[in-house]
Structure formats: structure tokens, C-alpha cells
Amino acid sequence: MKAYLIIIGDEVLSGITLDTNSNYIAKELDNIGISVIRISTIPDEDNAIKHELTKVFNSDADFIFTTGGLGPTKDDKTKQAIADFLSDTLVLHQPSLDYITDIYCRNGREMNELTRNQAMVPSRSEVMINRYGTAPVLWTEKDNKILINLPGVPYETRAMMTEFIIPKIKKGFNLPYIIRRSLVVVDFPESELALALRCWEDDLPEFITLSYLPSEARIELRLTAKGNNREELEYFLLQEINKLPVIIGKRLISTQTPDIQEVIAGFLKKNHLTFCVAESLTGGTISQKITSVSGSSAYYKGGITSYSVEAKENILHIPSEIIRTYTVVSEEVAKEMAERSAKLFNADIAVSTTGVAGPNSDEYNNPVGLVYIGLYFQKETFVKKYFYPDLSRNEIITRISNKALEMLYFKIIENE
């Protein structure tokens, strides 16, 4: 089955408001086997809405979703345009009016004409009261298609999709099973990976599709199986996944989760090891990634964001002569940060980062993009140097946070 999304709103077209509704709706529909064939963004104008509805009703979409234009102000024109398109009239929906009135009375406000108009709906539409806002949601059947009109406020759209729209679709239509598996590959350029997987990909069953989702230095391989027999889908997915370690080797870091921190968590818990971080360049990003995993308190001892020279000297107790001699962005300081944070937190493993994220060089004239990552691993210390002069500040921080965890992962592989 297929869906067409229409995002209505001048504020979206102007860039003032970020459209998150289409992203959320598309993912929710994809999860139940409905493919989105097009997403359109149009102004809140009567003719634009009618023109888009005419176009979509001539397409092969089974579901048409609109968001926005259902509110109380004069620029909310969706309902009237829909009624005109359907050759219908707007009528008062008393349950919606009662609900809206109750909200206003509870908050000590008086109803006005514009607010009352939110209870006006096309006469042939099924109405779902929006208990997360005031504008009701509409469900209309026409020409073997379903037209669903949602509010533009994101949390209202999400709640109504979750509680009403998705369950209603699942109950009323025979939808396929969809099973996804995400695999993570590191240190493998996308074009080279595609060449390595070409024969394997060409031999995939027709009901299994592969997507490449690159992110910084990693690539997520997403396998999607769609069909009517769940057990069969799971069996064939596993068969195909089991072929990949032979092709990719150790650069395939996970076949269970796209999050490397969960892979690391499994190793640390299994081996009863503890971990800490000393971050300068990354400013706490690695710590946030590690603690995003539930149960991380079992192995994560803590972290320090030793951003300043004073923090490196006074908290980590790195000798000032080392910093003066080599500067804070150096192999020597990265090594000291890792070792001394391990001692500070009494941890078996520690990761450190120090570098220049930009946009300017540091006080020692180290260039933007120069980075060192330190890894203390059970009484041994390793340091790697990276140089990313062409990346933005945020890109460098993200890239190095990932590289630090990958460095730990590969050391884990060596010790498995």
C-alpha cells in the first residue's frame, strides 16, 4: 500500500518552522508496510490545497495525509478547501464543540467564534477528537482512498498517529510483516563496500532490500524483509546476514544494533571491566553516548571534561612541563589524559580526546582539525593521530567521538 503526504503551512515553506511531521509519519507508515511515494509542502491557500488534492487523488496512493491548517485562525483554510474538494459542506460536530468548550471553561477563558469554528467539519468525514489540542482529526473515504487530516502541531500529530490512526489502519487493512536488521561497518569507504557486497547484494531474495546509510566514518547496512510469513522472513534474513562476516571481516562491528556503544557495553559487562573518559575536544559527547545505554552504571565509572589547561593540570595532574613542551594537543598529553583518568576513576579502560575543533587554531598554533585519541586498555596505552582540516567544528567533534569508540571496539576484538 502507498501513501502521499501533504504538509500545509506557509511557515514551513519560509523555513521558519522545521517540518518534523512528514519524517515521523513516513517512519510510522513504513513500520507497518505502507510506502510513502511523495511528500509535498504547500502554502495554506485554498487553490493550492485543492490543486494538490486533485493531483494526489489521480495518483496510485491509497492513503493521503495532510498536516496543518486545521487551527482557529483565518489562515487555517484546510477544512474548507477539503469540503469544497469533496463537494461537501462544513457542519457542527457537537462532541468536538463540547470538548473544546470544556477546555476553555477549565482554563477560565471564554469561547470565541474562531475557536468554535474548529468544531466545524465536513459532513461526510469521520471525526476523531484531539485530546492533545483542540483541532479534531478527520478521516474521509473517497474513490477507494483514505484522506486523513492531522493538525500541524508535532506532538499532537504524533499522539494522534500513535493512538488512533496507526491502530485504525492496522485493524482495517491486511498489511505485510516488515522486519529490519541494522548492521554497522567501519573503516570501509561506501563505494568500496558496495563493490565488495555486489555479488551478495545481487543474490538477495526479491523480498529483502538493502540500504546504505553512511554517517561520518560508519556505514549502517539496513536490511528490510517484507512479506506475509514472519518466520520465513526472519529465517532468510539470518541466512543472508550470516554470509557477511566472511565478506567484510572485522570491519563489520555489529549485526544486532547500529549503536557501537551497545556492543562495547556487552563486552565490558561480560568481562567485568570498568570504563571512564577524559574529554577535551569532544566536550562530553563520548560520555553522553556511553550513558545513553541502559545499565551503563554497571561499568561506566565517570568522566571528566578537562577542557582547560588548568583542569588538565589540577584535576588530572598532568605535569605542566609536559604541556609546555608538547602543547595540550599532542600524543604525550593524550596519553597522560587516558592514563591519569583511569587512575582517577580506578577504571580498567579509559579513552581521552584532545584537539582543535576550530574555527580557529589554538593558543599554541596547532591547526584546526588536528586531534589525538588516547586509549588506556588494561595497563597499556595507545594513541592515534587524526587530521580533519576540512570538517566543521561539529563534524570534527562527532567524527572523533565515533573514532574513539571504534578504537576501543577494535581493541576489544583483539582481546575476544
pLDDT digit string, tens, across residues 170-200: 999 999 988 999 898 988 989 999 999 999 9
Q: Over 70: is that where the pLDDT of 342 sits? A: yes
Contacts of 219 (CB under 8 A, 6+ apart): 184, 185, 186, 188, 190, 193, 212, 213
Q: What is the 3-state secondary structure (H, E, C) of 95-135?
A: HHHHHHHHHHHHCCCCCCHHHHHHHEEECCCEEECCCCCCC
Read out DSSP for 153-185?
Answer: SHHHHHHHIIIIIHHHHHHHS---EEEEEEEEE
pLDDT given for residue 127 in this prediction: 95
Question: In the chain, what percentage of residues exceed pLDDT 70?
Answer: 98
Determine which of 105-109, 261-265, 321-325, 361-365 has the lowest per-residue pLDDT on average.
105-109
Spatial distance between the Cα atoms of 55 and 5, rounded to a whole number of angstroms: 12
8 A C-beta contact, residue 181 and residue 213: no
H-only helix segments in 223-363: 230-241, 244-248, 260-270, 285-291, 309-314, 320-326, 331-345
Give mean pLDDT, residues 27-56. 93
Q: Is the peptide bond before 359 cis (omega within 30 degrees of 0)?
A: yes
Tell me what the pLDDT averaged over the chain comes to.
92
pLDDT given for residue 117 in this prediction: 85
Cell numbers linked to 405: 569508540
pLDDT digit string, tens, across residues 243-285: 999 999 988 988 877 678 888 998 899 999 999 999 999 999 9
Spatial distance between the Cα atoms of 304 and 308, rounded to a whole number of angstroms: 11
pLDDT given for residue 350 in this prediction: 98
Spatial distance between the Cα atoms of 274 and 298, rounded to a whole number of angstroms: 8
**Domains in the chain, start-ordered, CATH in brackets?**
2-172 (3.40.980.10), 177-254 (3.30.70.2860), 260-415 (3.90.950.20)
Spatial distance between the Cα atoms of 320 and 307, rounded to a whole number of angstroms: 15
State the pTM of this model.
0.69
8-state DSSP, 42: E
